[in-house]
Structure 1
């Protein structure tokens, strides 16, 4: 586990490690990728999708982390991202939906993986 030394004691840094006692505290993209893919497939409320896409664009910058998901999960994520364009008419929002503004950065980073 990652710890921050303060004098004689070790303090768990909750901003780095968010894992149970049964793990080594290492983040893996596989579980996060699965949940993200499911959210991209099922979610219709645009403000939620906007946040997901914003964070996803940042995550895709870390290739080693992303490759921990495996080829099949990344393929499913890619398909879910591309299908967002086709379900744009079904998205719900109280404001104008500017999907391209949030989708383009994700696609531009995703294209580097293929």
Structure 2
């Protein structure tokens, strides 16, 4: 076996072990987030998408609220729909085709008071 193939095989074996641990759901982090509602800002950026995908894939969260501002003529909801089409979700999409049901767009802007969140959304999020 050539060295590149050996590295690939080794990497895949490590990934399988990691996925097996995630499937069992027994880590402290998974237990902490089990059934939780989470509010995240910055979820449309590179790292934010990675974080949200990992939480949905690895933890049995109830709901993740994503603060999204309107941008380029798109509403927060439209931006969430576009984010959910990203290839980062391909692996999760195979296992949990309805993963997007755990995600909810919250219109707002971090540069505004109270994050620009309307009173109704603010009340719902803080109560949950």
Q: TM-score, normalised by structure 2?
A: 0.29
Judging by fraction of residues, say which structure has more strand.
Answer: 2
TM-score using structure 1 length: 0.31
